[in-house]
Amino acid sequence: MNQLDIKVTVNSANSLQFQYKGNTLSFRRMDGIEKFRRSTFSCDLSLDLCNIIGLISTIERLIPRQEIYKIHISLPILSLERWQDSEIINELKIMISQFTINDYIFDFYSFVKSSAKMRDQIVMELGDEAEVSLWSGGLDSLSGFLNRYLENPNKEYVLVGFGFQRCAFGKQRNLHEKINKLFPNAKIERYRVFHDIAGAPKKYPNPSFRMRGLLFLVEGLYASKLFCSDTLYLHENGIGAFNIPFPGSGHWDRSLTANPAILSIVSKFYSKLIGSERRIINPFLFFTKGEMCEVFILNILKFSNILELSSSCDSNHRQKDKPGQCGYCSSCLLRRQGILSTGLEDPTRYSYPHLNDVKRMKHFTQFTNQADLWKGFLLVGVDQIYQQDPIIYESKKYMMKELNISGEEFDQKFSKLIQSQICEWDRFVRFIGNSQTQIA
């Protein structure tokens, strides 16, 4: 196993700074939330956790995929006493192990900084019952929030965005502004935390790291604490949340950020850390993307351009003078499938909408093969899918134990989710086939 020692210091800009292969790198949180907090309690433990996971997410970018490291981190923190608890450290490592194959060892030392509770605060004009949601600018984030808002338009909402790229915040801002124009009486606030990495290479050895998902979750829990909410909402369709791997793909190729069992592990650790119960809830766990997108059929949304303001693409295809969304990566394909299933015309401009070469057919073929596999499984029983993917079975056991859902109820809901996904995908396959015929 490879060894790596990281000694972290705090520079004059309050960035976490360390050396890696002769280069000086730094990670910094630019917090646009704290000054609007409602909570009067110190959030130092939460800030410690955000910095720990933020630093690890930076390190994970630098380590080549398929290489395993034992990484020793010496890190300054605000609340040393709590982090000296061996039980907390063990559970921290268990949580981290869900997102990386690397092994982390921690050596914390005290860092003196003015505590959040001592700073001047601006009182938000929001009630105590505000609903705090992660806000990415993606289609699930948008459709999920609109479903929640239209279900209870008198409620107060807080949308919280995070990221490493400033362009993402522009998309989040544009969507928020559009929602406020469509619903001028709505009580919706938007805040952000920007993660800045300085000194990193232009091209990361591991650009598809999973730790980013954990960073967003702990940042979201931090935000929910600031706004006096015991629940953080994450809006993700069930296919994306369970994220069943394609046949032959590796475990570490999939994101589990929205998996219900993983959400439980993260929220339980955070609750234990701060001594107060917190939850992460995905209200759309058994919805397909198409079912979430049905909200756009409403006239007030159908005749607006809000749908095309959202972004889904996770490809690195981007080229000058080409639209920002590729049209062929897995996220774009599910986006196109979801919009098509509503009967609406997709207003999104894609760089490669027709999938007319082998390279851009890869994910389409994988989804089609997976749908065919599921059809065979469902003829025998949903247990066949659990055997293919034990993580889903772990999710079932978690929901039976902690959410009081019977095994039969889970099987019925999961089976319906898979059947609906197959129907939506088959419709999209026919659409692509017709498009290619017209081109030919």
The verdict on residue 159 lying in a domain is yes
| Domain annotation covers residue 306 | no
Rg of the chain, C-alpha, whole Å: 22
Say if residue 276 is in the same domain as residue 324: no
Q: Find out whether 286 and 245 touch, Cβ atoms under 8 Å.
A: no
Closest by CA to 6, choosing from 28, 26, 36, is 26
- 302 in any annotated domain: no
Residue 333 and residue 420 share a domain: yes
Q: Are 237 and 140 in contact (CB under 8 A)?
A: yes
| Sign for the pseudo-dihedral over CA of 199, 204, 205, 210 | positive
- 103 φ, ψ (degrees, to nearest 5): -105, 125
- Can you give the CATH number for the domain in which 200 is found? 3.40.50.620
Compute the distance between CA of residue 392 and CA of residue 243 in angstroms, rounded to an integer. 9
Helix (H) or strand (E) holding 28: strand 23-31
CA dist list (Å): 7 to 18, 84, 146, 208, 313: 6, 18, 44, 25, 36
Q: Same domain for 409 and 322?
A: yes
283, 138 in Cβ contact below 8 A? no
List per-residue pLDDT tens for the chain, 440 residues long. Answer: 899 999 999 876 678 999 998 899 999 998 887 666 665 667 889 999 999 999 999 999 898 877 899 999 999 999 999 999 999 999 999 999 999 999 999 999 998 664 444 444 444 445 557 899 999 999 999 999 999 999 999 999 999 998 777 778 889 999 999 999 999 999 999 999 889 888 888 777 776 668 889 999 999 999 999 888 999 999 999 999 998 877 655 544 567 889 999 999 999 999 999 999 999 999 999 999 999 999 999 999 999 999 999 999 987 655 667 788 999 999 999 999 999 999 999 999 999 998 888 888 999 999 999 999 999 989 988 888 888 888 898 899 999 988 889 999 999 999 999 999 999 999 999 999 987 766 65
- 401 and 275 in a single domain? The answer is no
Tokens describing residue 366: 């994988």
Report the pLDDT value the prediction gives residue 438, as an integer from 0 to 100.
Answer: 67
| Coil, helix or strand at residue 331 | helix
One domain, residues 47 and 160: no
**Beta-carbon contacts of residue 292 (< 8 Å; ≥ 6 apart):** 140, 143, 144, 147, 235, 237, 284, 338
Q: Does 425 lie in the same domain as 318?
A: yes
**In whole angstroms, what is the distance from residue 38 CA to residue 127 CA?**
9
Per-residue pLDDT, 119: 43
Task: Of 211, 268, 267, 179, give the one whose Cα is nearest residue 97.
Answer: 211
pLDDT of residue 42: 72
Euclidean distance between CA atoms 133 and 158, whole angstroms: 6
For residue 76, what is the enclosing H or E element? strand 69-77
Q: For tokens 């057919």, name the residue.
A: 361
Q: What is the identity of the amino acid at 38?
A: R
Q: Say if residues 122 and 116 touch (Cβ distance below 8 Å).
A: no
Q: 264 and 360 share a domain?
A: no
Residue 46 domain flag: yes
Q: What is the pLDDT of residue 439?
A: 63
Q: Say how far apart CA 339 and CA 23 lie, in whole Å.
A: 45
319 in the same domain as 218: no
The number of distinct structural domains making up the chain is 3
- The identity of residue 199, as a single letter, is G
Answer whether residue 77 is part of any domain: yes
Contact 48, 38 (CB under 8 A): no
Name the residue among 365, 300, 308, 339 with its Cα closest to residue 153.
300
Number of other CB atoms surrounding residue 400 within 10 Å: 15
Q: Are residues 113 and 165 in the same domain?
A: no
Tokens linked to 116: 């959040």
Q: Domain for residue 295, yes or no?
A: no
Are 139 and 266 within one domain?
A: yes
Q: Report the C-alpha gap between 30 and 153 in whole angstroms.
A: 31
Is residue 291, in this structure, part of any structural domain at all? no
Q: Do 113 and 136 fall into the same domain?
A: no
**First-to-last CA distance in the chain?**
53
Q: Which of 281, 300, 320 is the last residue of a domain?
A: 281
Reduced to 3 states, what is the DSSP secondary structure of residue 187?
Answer: strand
CB 156 within 8 A of CB 130: yes
Q: Pick from 246, 254, 279: which is nearest to 370 by CA?
A: 246
Domain boundary among 60, 85, 118: 118
User: CA–CA separation, 232 vs 235, rounded Å?
Assistant: 10
- Give the domain range for residue 76: 2-118
Task: For residue 293, tell me if it sits in a domain.
Answer: no
Do 194 and 57 lie in a common domain? Answer: no
Domain boundary among 266, 281, 296: 281
What pTM was estimated for this model as a whole? Answer: 0.91
pLDDT at 391: 86
